[in-house]
Structure 1
Amino acid sequence: MSGIRKSYNDEFKKQTVKYIQEQTKTVAELAQELDIPAKTLHQWLGKYRQFPDEPVASAERVRELERQLQEKEKQLADMAEEMAIVKKAVHIFSNPKN
């Protein structure tokens, strides 16, 4: 790490915080990507966070949401299959027999 200290204006900090809140990466990953120390990013988050109640995405939270999504997709597929079976049954039983 160089001895030169970088200085950022408030607009840059606000845009960076907005970017952090929109990403699904961890602060550490974004710090490496942006070449800004993670401690600095955490300070900016505390000061400039636009959605105070919304946590910064953590890897664990992302995995949990992905698991929930897969579960819901499976439920949707099961319901679609059940609906197809019911439609076939209605079709079969609604046709008069000769």
Structure 2
Amino acid sequence: MGEQRQRFNEEFKQQTVKYIQEQTKSMPEIAEELNIPVKTLHQWKAKYRTFGSEPVASAEKIRELEQLLQDKERELLAKDQQLADAEEQLAIVKKAVHIFSKPRK
């Protein structure tokens, strides 16, 4: 018949997430080591994650921060471009106001 599902208590899940956060191993490696599906570990991590348990320089944390930095740099470049466009439009409007405000002869 069908295989019986494993049941884990809350404390086990929390301890497992803490273990995941302290490791430099990948999630698939940990999943294989613990014989728990990777998807399940990701769900537990999302639910029980505490940032105080994570080492500052974990490989995953560094990748996440690098990606965040790249995203912010892209946003900053886009905002710089928008600002440059707005300044150019303002300069054009100022010139137009100057031209049209001169009295006609």
TM-score, normalised by the number of residues in structure 1:
0.49
